[in-house]
Amino acid sequence: MKDVIVAKFGGSSLADSEQFKKVKNIIDSNGDRKFIIPSAPGKRHSKDHKITDLLYMCQQLSSHGLNFDEIFNIIQKRYEDICNELDLTIDISSILKEIKKEIQDGASKDFAASRGEYLNSIILSGYLNIDFIDATEIIVFNNKGELDMKATEINIDLKLKDIQRAVIPGFYGAMPDGKIKTFSRGGSDISGAIIAKGLNAKLYENWTDVSGFLMADPRIVKDPKPIEKITYKELRELSYMGAPVLHEEAIFPVRKAGIPINIKNTNHPEEPGTMIINDMDPITHCGTITGIAGKKDFTVISIEKTLMGAEKGFFRKLMSVLETNNVAIEHMPSSIDSISLIIANSELNSKLDKIIEEIRIYCNPDTIICYPNMALIAVVGRGMINTKGISAKIFTSLADGGVNIRMITQGSSELNIIVGIENADFEKAISAIYEAF
C-alpha cells in the first residue's frame, strides 16, 4: 500500500476531547492517513495521571483483594467526559463495566494495562466514523512472549487488505492462546511501526507533544534548534547517549523496510517536525553536526602496561575480570601501552575495589588509576565524515568555555566524537559545543 500513511498518536495527543478534535483535523487534512494507532489518554496537566498508570493500580489492588472503585471511577469519568464532549453515542459505560468485572475476576496485568488503548481506539473510530480493528486480531506473540513478525504480517495482509481506513489500538497484541500481551511501556510506537512495515506504508507518522527532536537538551540549552532530518544511525547514537527519542524497538521494523518516520507535534501540525530517514539516503549537513547528547556518572579505569598489545591473552584476561563481575563497559579507548575502561557508576555499585584487585592479579599492569565523577558527551553527525575542522571546532569551544577534556574517542564510522569530562563541567560543555555550531 504505497500511498498509505500510518499515523500513531501518543497519550498527550489524545488526553481529552479538545485533543481528539485536533487529531480529527490532522487525519482529515490528508486522505493518505488511513491507519491510525492511538495510545491511552496521557496527562492533561502536571498533576494529572496517565490512564495506563491508573489501570495498573486497579489491577494491583484487585490482585490483593482490595477495593479499587475510587481509582476506576477516575478512569470512567475521563472516558465518559470525552464521549459526552464529542457528542458520541457510544455506550462507553457498559464497556467500562465489563472491563471492571474482568479486573475484579483476576484479569492479568497486561489485560488491565491494554484497556486504555482499547477504549481510546473505540472512541476515536466512532468519532472518525471508520473501522475499529482490535490489535489482538493482528499482532501475534509466540509462546515465549516475543513478537511473531511473520504471523503478524500474514494477519495484516488478511485483515487489512480490503479495509480502506481503520483505527487499531497500540501497545498490545495476543498470545497464541488469545491472552492479551503488551509491549514494554511506550509500546504503541512499536505497534505503529509494525503495522507500517506490514502495509509497506510510504510514511510512518508519530504524533506527540513536541515538534521532533532538538539538537540539544532544552533544560541545558535555551531554545535549541530542531533537527529537521536525521538518519537511523545518528538517532541510535543520540538515544544511546541518553537523548529522549522514540521507543528503540519502534525503529527496527520500519528501518528494515526503508520507511521514513516523521515525528510531529499534534498541537502545531504546521511545523515540519523531524524526519528520520534511511541511512543510505543523501543528506547534506553543510559542515555542521546533527545533535549533542550526554550522560553523567561514569568511572574511568586507566590501565598502563608496557607492550600490552604484544602480550597474548592480555585483553581476554581484562575482559574476563569484568565478565565475572557482571559489569558492562560503555567505551574502551586505547593507545599503544594503555587502555581505559569507561563504566557507568550504576554498573559498578560497590565492585570497584574488587575489580581493580582482580585486574592487578590477572593482568599485572604497571599502573591502574581511577577517575570517578566523569561525564560523556557525544557529538553526532553524518556530515562530520567529509568536513574538515569539526573536531577542532569542538575542542576549541570546550577550551574557550574553560572545560578540561579528560578523554577523546571516535568510532570508526566517524559518525560521532565522544569526549570525557568531569561531571561538574557537563552543562557548561554542552552549551559551549552547541554555541560553536
pLDDT averaged over 10-residue windows placed end to end, the chain, 437 residues: 90 96 98 97 94 97 97 97 97 97 96 98 98 97 95 96 95 96 88 95 94 89 90 82 70 88 95 87 66 92 90 91 93 88 91 94 93 92 77 91 88 79 95 92
Q: How far is it, in rounded angstroms, from Cα 193 to Cα 352? A: 41
The helix-helix angle for 69-85 and 17-28 (nearest 10°) equals: 50
Which residues share a beta bridge with 367?
A: 304
Strands 274-277 and 229-231: parallel
Q: How much is the pTM?
A: 0.83
Query: What does the pLDDT read at residue 89?
Result: 94
Q: What is the pLDDT of residue 349?
A: 84
Q: What gap in Å lies between CA 77 and CA 42, rounded to an integer? A: 14
All structural domains of the chain with their residue ranges? 5-277, 291-436
Cell numbers found for residue 138: 493482528
pLDDT at residue 287, rounded to an integer = 63
Provide the pLDDT for residue 282: 59
Which spans in 188-268 are helix H? 188-199, 232-240, 248-257
pLDDT at 79: 98
Contacts made by residues 46-53, CB under 8 angstroms, sequence distance 24+: 48/15, 49/74, 50/11, 50/116, 51/11, 51/75, 51/78, 51/116, 51/120, 52/11, 52/113, 52/116, 52/185
Q: CATH number for the 5-277 domain, one of 3.90.226.10, 3.90.1150.10, 3.90.1720.10, 3.40.1160.10? A: 3.40.1160.10
**Residue 181 near residue 174, CB atoms below 8 Å:** yes
pLDDT of residue 284: 56
- CATH among 3.40.630.10, 3.20.10.10, 3.30.2130.10, 3.40.1280.10 for 291-436: 3.30.2130.10
Bridge partners (DSSP) of residue 132 are: 167
